[in-house]
């Protein structure tokens, strides 16, 4: 059974993951508006991943006999200065989410809730990947500031990203 405090914190994280999904959907719409369909595709996969994170937390709260309580999702930004600006914001956002996950682990440790500590390890590892993949695109865009032709090559590369739904037996 989850403590009330842990339950509330996990519900807050469900909201944070849904906001992430909403933010990336807004970024997808931005890329579509400037005809960068590969970058829009990258965001589409990212949006789906974040939704999967929310569902993973949702299922865990239920499994532990907690109560999922959904809250309003904040309005995401809708305009960015450039593709680099978008990926700077993605990287910043993922760093913020990492901090939220670390705070959740700290709380679970304080509560001596070993099951939640164990469950959250998946998110700890996922955040390493999330920060790295956003940073990789950000770094490439930075290198291209003086050679804008590279943007079209990079956009083609980002078009290759595919969202793979997790296998059911992994519970991810």
- Footprint of Fe ion on this chain (CB under 5 A)? 17, 50, 53, 130
Write down the least CB distance from residue 17 to Fe ion, Å: 5
Write down the least CB distance from residue 136 to Fe ion, Å: 14
User: Which CB, 7 or 50, lies closer to Fe ion?
Assistant: 50
> 1, exposed or middle or buried, with CB in 10 Å at 0-12, 13-18, 19+?
exposed
User: Which CB, 7 or 93, lies closer to Fe ion?
Assistant: 93
Q: What is the DSSP letter of 2?
A: -
User: Which CB, 115 or 124, lies closer to Fe ion?
Assistant: 124
Spacing of C-alpha 73 from chain mean position: 14
Query: Closest-CB residue for Fe ion?
Result: 53
Write down the least CB distance from residue 150 to Fe ion, Å: 25
How far is CA 83 from each of CA 36, 44, 46, 63, 113, rounded to the nearest angstrom?
9, 15, 16, 40, 42
User: Which CB, 75 or 96, lies closer to Fe ion?
Assistant: 96
For residue 25, give the nearest of 82, 72, 97, 75 by alpha carbon: 75
């Amino acid at each position: 059974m989850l403590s009330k405090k842990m339950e509330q914190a996990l519900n807050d994280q469900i909201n944070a993951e849904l906001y992430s999904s909403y933010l990336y959907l807004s970024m997808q719409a931005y890329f579509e508006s400037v005809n960068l369909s590969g970058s829009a595709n990258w965001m589409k996969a990212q949006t789906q991943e974040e939704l999967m994170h929310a569902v993973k937390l949702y299922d865990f709260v239920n499994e532990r006999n907690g109560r999922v309580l959904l809250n309003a999702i904040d309005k995401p930004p809708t305009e960015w200065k450039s593709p680099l600006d978008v990926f700077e914001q993605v990287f910043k956002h993922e760093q913020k989410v990492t901090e939220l996950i670390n705070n959740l682990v700290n709380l679970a440790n304080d509560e001596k809730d070993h099951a939640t500590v164990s469950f959250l390890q998946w998110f700890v590892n996922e955040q390493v990947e999330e920060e790295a993949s956003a940073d990789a695109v950000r770094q490439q865009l930075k290198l291209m500031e003086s050679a804008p032709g590279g943007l079209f090559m990079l956009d083609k590369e980002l078009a290759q990203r595919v969202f793979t739904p997790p296998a059911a037996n992994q519970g991810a």
